[in-house]
Structure 1
């Protein structure tokens, strides 16, 4: 019964949150802080409805004052609400172009100033990356990226794609890793306390002075640090990681 009630409440909430987010975007289109506001509108009520116990250890991200590329693990569709709790000011995200066709959400995602990339079109994808790099360098904004490129569904951290690291090196801005435990592994919406979510940010990783030749080592370092952090969070939260 609790599962049914929560599912209905979440459906109503996502519809209302999408309408509110769309209104925010229409009133102040492409404002650099729209993403943070919309993320909170989605995240705060949804986490309460879901019954998640939340612990935020995100000071490195929340209080960062300059441009950065924020990288996080991608667990499930619920990441919209879980990571939405910690999106910092003046931050946009990188998403696939097909998102814009999702009713309400796609339009507000675009109006919030997020970057839509057509992964099937190399020319357009490269152009979007160049524009985003210029924004990082000159407009005091940060970019949130899921470097795995797809959801892990609680089965461990997948290999990273190069885009986020290439942009950070080219723009000369730090990378800030932020991790969540694999909360979907123990998630049960039919329980009053459905699960535990812990989000932890790691110290910024500088990229000044690095070149594209340094990118493989940078990717390997960030992946190893994040994988170790996620394993620790899983232990603390009582969730386990099923590896593929």
Structure 2
């Protein structure tokens, strides 16, 4: 029975992916920065560990406690929407710490054991914003684009050790915390000069033509883990699939 460690399981894609792999009888290590009780079904195959991907000590403790890991899913991350001009650099650094450096740190932490076994899969969850960048999300998109390039290069680097690195690219899901950020009033996010432009953008966020369900992402992770074709990118959700065909 294989073991999967998933970051960011307190809600959204991570939570649904943990549920999905439990239903497939995998050993699941669901990690989260703040533990939430009762969100996952009781199972002898489930372990819940605290993990803050922006904290080196937290990463080391979680990896030691986890033991052998067959699959790592780097899902934890945060979103930010607003005009880049008005986005504090401190907030941008927080986004990169979680979405970019956190992914890299987790990846470095698991590579040695996978290299020694000459087996493993690393799944990095990015965003359909990397396929078609959207307005008012420059910092977020940059943090995810960095992981796209990182994963593509890493896939070549680790292939020698029979370790796979893959991308799952979710579309827009109104149920995620990223979507909740769009509910903040426009004037709190951007200067007045952007208001006329930003209004319609936020309306589109609120009523997208196509959306991604959390189960779409879980199923895409499952496909990526079991893929034998060498495919690098796995768009998740109808909007992401549509964008991938035109990117």
Q: TM-score, normalised by structure 1?
A: 0.38
Higher relative contact order, chain-length normalized (CA < 8 Å, sep 6+): 1
